[in-house]
Structure 1
Amino acid sequence: MSAGSLLAQYNSWLLSASAAGTDTPCTEKKTTDLVRQRILEEPHLHSILQNDAFSMISCGLQGKADLLLALQHLAYAFQTLEQAALHLYFTPWRKEFHVIKTYSGQYVHILEEAFPQDAIFQALKRLNYEPGDDGTSLKIRVLPAPQTLAIIALGFLAAQMECDILADLVSCSGSTLVNGTDLIQERSFWRGADACMERLQKLVLEPRTVSVAKSSTVVDSVIGASSGEVFYQPQLCDDYHEPWHKHVNGDCRMVSDHHAHQPENDRCHNKVPHLDFVLHDCVFLEQSLEQCCAPCQMLHSSSCSTVKVCMNKGHGVTLMTTFEKIQAAIDEQSRKHQLHCCLQPGQLPRYRCSECRQLHYISCEGLQWCQSKDHNVSMIMLDKDQRLWLQRSLTDLTLLCMNVPGHNIKC
C-alpha cells in the first residue's frame, strides 16, 4: 500500500470526524492500525510523508536515560502537533489557532518537554507558523490548503505510531541496554519488528564486539551487509572520540575538561547535521555526499574544491557518517523545490517561491498568486543558476545514499 492509500484512508476518517463534529486527533483503530502496520514494514514512508520523524525522534531521545519515558513524551507531542493541524483543517476561521504562545500552555508543557526548540520550529513551520515580531509567539500569515493540512496531520500521526513501535522495541530489548542512536539507526534500516529486534539483541548481547571486516580506510569502520551479520562498530565514542569502555551503553559520561584538551577540528566529528546545514551545489553536480564543514554549516561532495578553501581557513572538515548522510538526504527532500506545472520540457525555471517551494516559468498564474500573497518570490537571473535549480529539483536524493552499506530507504 502506498502513501497515497494511507492518505485516502486518513481523508475518509477526516470526513467521518467532520460529520460527527469532532476535531480531536485520530484514534480510530482502523486508521491507526493501518498506519502503524505500513510504516512498520516500510519505514521509508516517513520520508514520503516528509514528516522528519526519525530526525525529530532522534533529537528528542538525545541525552535521555529513560527511553520509554522520552518516547511517551514524543508520542504525546506528535499527537499535539496533529491536533494543531486539525484545528486549522476543521476550523480555519478561528483566529486563536493562528497564533501559538511560546511561553505557556501546550508549547511549554508538551512540545518543549519532548523536543529542542529548533525541532519544534521546524515542525510548526510546515503549518506555516513563523516567529512573531514580539518574540513570544508563532503566527500564521498564510493558511495552508486543506489537503496540505491533511497530509501534514497524517505525517504527525505516522510519527506518533513510530514512537509506539520504538517503545515496543525498547520494552523488549531493555531501555537501560539500548541507546537512542542505535535504536533509531537499526529501526530506520530494517523492515518489520522481528528484523529490527534481532539486530538490537545483537547490540545488547554482544555490544560492539562483533568482528569488523578488514578495511583500508578509517571511514570503512561502518560496515554493513544485506545478511545483517555485521554492524556499526565505532572504536571511539561518537560524541567525544574516547574509547567505548569509558562510557555507559553509548551514552557519554560528562567530562568537564574534555573539550579544553581536544583539538578544534576533532570536535563534534560524528554529530548528526543540524537542521540549518545545507547541501552545497557540488552535491547535486557530482551526485556525491561525503564531507561536512561545521563552521560554514555546509555539506559537500567527495571532491569539492571549496573544501580545500575551508581547510586553508582552519575549518573543521570531517567525513560524514552513515546516519548523517541518510538524515541529510531526508532533510533535503523535505525542503527541496518542486517544478510547477507551468514549466514545460526544455524550459528552465525563471522564478522560485521560497514559501511554496516551487519553481516557475514566465507569466505563470500561480506565480502571480504567490506575488499577490506577498510570498518571497525571487527571479533566477543567470542561466547557470536556472540549470542548477532545475537539477536540484530533479535530483533523486536516494542516489546520495547509494554508497551507504545496507541502506535501502528511499529518501
Structure 2
Amino acid sequence: MCAGSALRQEYGQEYRRCLEREFRRGRAGACSDPSFGERLRRRLREEPALLGALQADAPALLARGLRGRPDPGPALRGLAGAFRLLELAAANLYLFPWRKEFGTVQTFSGAYVHLLRPALPEADLVRSFGRLGYERRDPHRLTLSRPPPGPELAAAACGFFACRLECEILAEVVLRLPPGRTCAEDLLEARRLAGDVEACVEMLQQLGTQREAAADCGVDLYRETPAKPEDAGGEDAAPPALWRDPGSPRGAGDVPGRSWDCCGDGEPGQEPEAPELPCYQLHSCLRRGALPSYCCTTCQQLHAGACAAGQACRNRHRGQELRSERQQRLWLQRTEVDMLLADGSGPWS
C-alpha cells in the first residue's frame, strides 16, 4: 500500500470512529470532535502535502475555487463553507443510508445555488458528488444511484473535512499579511513550496517587500543603460535592449531579430570579436501562459513570483524584478526565442 493510501485509510478510519462516537451521543452530522480536528489541523499546518494524500484532487479544487479572485480572503471563507456541506452530505449518507431525503440533491435552489455554486465550478461539484454515488439525471437534480461502501463514504467525508481545514489555514495566512498584499496564485504557490505555515507567511512577506522595492526603483525594458550604473541599481539591473542589432556597436540598428546586448571581453576601444549573447531559460516554476516576475541574470532564468528557487536567486544572485506586465511579456518573448534557438528550431539556427 502506498503512503498516500495508508494515510487516507488511517485518517478515514479515525474520522469514522469520531462520527460513530458522536452519533451514539446524540449528535449527527459533520465531524465535531475537537481533538481529532485539532490534530489534523496541526499536521496540515506543518505538512501541506498531507491534503493531497487525503483527497487526491484537493489542490486542484482549491486552485480552481480561487482562480480569478483578486482577494483570496472572502473566497476562502466561501470554499470552507462549501467543503463543509460536501462533508455533511458524505456523513449523512454514512449515518443514514436509508433516508430517502438524502437520495436527491436539488441543483436549482437552496444551498447548492447559494453556497456551493458560488464557491466551486459546476464540473467540480458534479465530480465531488459523484464520489458519493450521485449522478446527474436531469439539469435540476443529482440522484443517488450506487452509494459507495461505508468506509469509502467516511474517507470522502474526511477528505472534504481536510479541505475545509486547509481553507481555514490559508485564511489565517492571509490575515497575517497586509490587506491586498497577496493574490491567490502566490498564496497557493508559497503554501506548496514553503511547507509549514510560518515559512509560508515569511515567503509571502518577503515577496511583497521585494515587489514594493521594485515598484519604487523599477527599470524600463526599453531604456538604455544609464550613464551611472548606480542610477539603475547596478550593471545587472539594466535589461538588454530587445531590438538592438548586435552587429552595431552603437545599437543604432532597429532589427527585430535576435538582438541582445553585446558582452564582449575585449579591451576598451577595441572592436569585439564574436559577441557573447546570453541565452535565457524559463524555470520549471513557470507554467504555460504564466508571466515571470523575476529575472536572474546570474542563472539566466525567469521565475514566477513565489518560486523558491527564485527567492534563493534574489538573495544570492544578481537580477531584477519585472514589475510591469509589459516588462514581463517582453522578457517572456525574448526567452522563448532564446529557447527556440537553443533547440535549433529557430529561424537563425
Matching residue of 2:159: 155
Matching residue of 1:192: 196
Instruction: Select the residue among 52, 56, 65 that pairs with 1:47.
Output: 52
Instruction: Select the residue among 312, 319, 322 that pairs with 1:229.
Output: 312
Cα distance change of structure 1 residues 106 and 229 upon mapping to structure 2, 3 Å threshold = same
Secondary structure of 2:38's aligned partner: helix
Cα distance change of structure 1 residues 69 and 22 upon mapping to structure 2, 3 Å threshold = same
Instruction: Select the residue among 67, 73, 93 that pairs with 1:68.
Output: 73
Q: d(CA) in 1 for partners of 2:32 and 2:194? A: 27
Q: d(CA) in 2 for partners of 1:116 and 1:228? A: 33
After TM superposition, list the pairs within 5 Å mapping 1:324-343 onto structure 2.
none
Secondary structure of 2:118's aligned partner: helix
Matching residue of 1:217: 281
Cα distance change of structure 1 residues 144 and 234 upon mapping to structure 2, 3 Å threshold = farther
Answer whether contact 1:89 1:150 (CA < 8 A) is retained. Answer: yes
Q: Is 1:85 the equivalent of 2:90?
A: yes
Cα distance change of structure 1 residues 124 and 168 upon mapping to structure 2, 3 Å threshold = same
Give the counterpart letter for 2:58 in structure 1.
A
Q: Is 1:6 the equivalent of 2:89?
A: no
Paired residues, number: 243
Structure 2 length normalisation: TM-score?
0.62
Q: Is 1:165 the equivalent of 2:169?
A: yes
Answer whether contact 1:51 1:159 (CA < 8 A) is retained. Answer: no
After TM superposition, list the pairs within 5 Å mapping 1:1-400 onto structure 2.
2-132=7-137, 134-207=138-211, 216-219=280-283, 220-222=301-303, 229-230=312-313, 235=322, 242-243=326-327
Q: CA deviation at 1:54?
A: 2.1
Q: CA deviation at 1:242?
A: 4.6
Answer whether contact 1:82 1:157 (CA < 8 A) is retained. Answer: yes
Q: d(CA) in 1 for partners of 2:36 and 2:279? A: 47
Q: d(CA) in 1 for partners of 2:123 and 2:164? A: 19
Give the counterpart letter for 1:222 in structure 2.
H
Query: How far does the alpha carbon of each residue in 1:270-300 deviate from its partner, in whole angstroms, 9 at most, with x for none?
Result: xxxxxxxxxxxxxxxxxxxxxxxxxxxxxxx
Query: How far does the alpha carbon of each residue in 1:311-348 deviate from its partner, in whole angstroms, 9 at most, with x for none?
Result: xxxxxxxxxxxxxxxxxxxxxxxxxxxxxxxxxxxxxx
Q: d(CA) in 2 for partners of 1:228 and 1:3? A: 33
Q: CA deviation at 1:34?
A: 0.9
Cα distance change of structure 1 residues 207 and 82 upon mapping to structure 2, 3 Å threshold = same
Q: CA deviation at 1:197?
A: 0.8
Q: Structure 1: which 5+ runs fail to align? A: 246-265, 267-302, 304-411
Q: CA deviation at 1:8?
A: 3.6
Answer whether contact 2:65 2:120 (CA < 8 A) is retained. Answer: yes
Cα distance change of structure 1 residues 225 and 168 upon mapping to structure 2, 3 Å threshold = closer
Q: d(CA) in 1 for partners of 2:107 and 2:328? A: 39
Q: d(CA) in 2 for partners of 1:190 and 1:169? A: 12
Q: CA deviation at 1:27?
A: 2.5
Cα distance change of structure 1 residues 101 and 225 upon mapping to structure 2, 3 Å threshold = closer
Query: How far does the alpha carbon of each residue in 1:232-255 deviate from its partner, in whole angstroms, 9 at most, with x for none?
Result: x99598xxx75469xxxxxxxxxx
Cα distance change of structure 1 residues 230 and 101 upon mapping to structure 2, 3 Å threshold = farther
Report which stretch shifted further, 7-16 or 177-186: 7-16
Q: CA deviation at 1:128?
A: 2.2
Structure 1 length normalisation: TM-score?
0.53
Q: d(CA) in 1 for partners of 2:321 and 2:95? A: 49
Q: CA deviation at 1:12?
A: 2.3
Secondary structure of 1:24's aligned partner: coil
Give the counterpart letter for 2:34 in structure 1.
K
Q: Structure 2: which 5+ runs fail to align? A: 1-5, 219-235, 238-277, 284-300, 315-319, 334-342, 344-349
Q: d(CA) in 2 for partners of 1:225 and 1:112? A: 34
Answer whether contact 1:25 1:79 (CA < 8 A) is retained. Answer: yes
Query: How far does the alpha carbon of each residue in 1:35-57 deviate from its partner, in whole angstroms, 9 at most, with x for none?
Result: 11111111111221125222212
Once superposed, what is the RMSD of the aligned Cα atoms?
A: 3.3
Secondary structure of 2:19's aligned partner: helix
Structure exhibiting the larger radius of gyration computed from Cα positions: 2
Q: What fraction of aligned residue pairs are identical, expressed as a percent? A: 31
Cα distance change of structure 1 residues 63 and 146 upon mapping to structure 2, 3 Å threshold = same
Secondary structure of 1:221's aligned partner: strand
Report which stretch shifted further, 156-165 or 47-56: 47-56
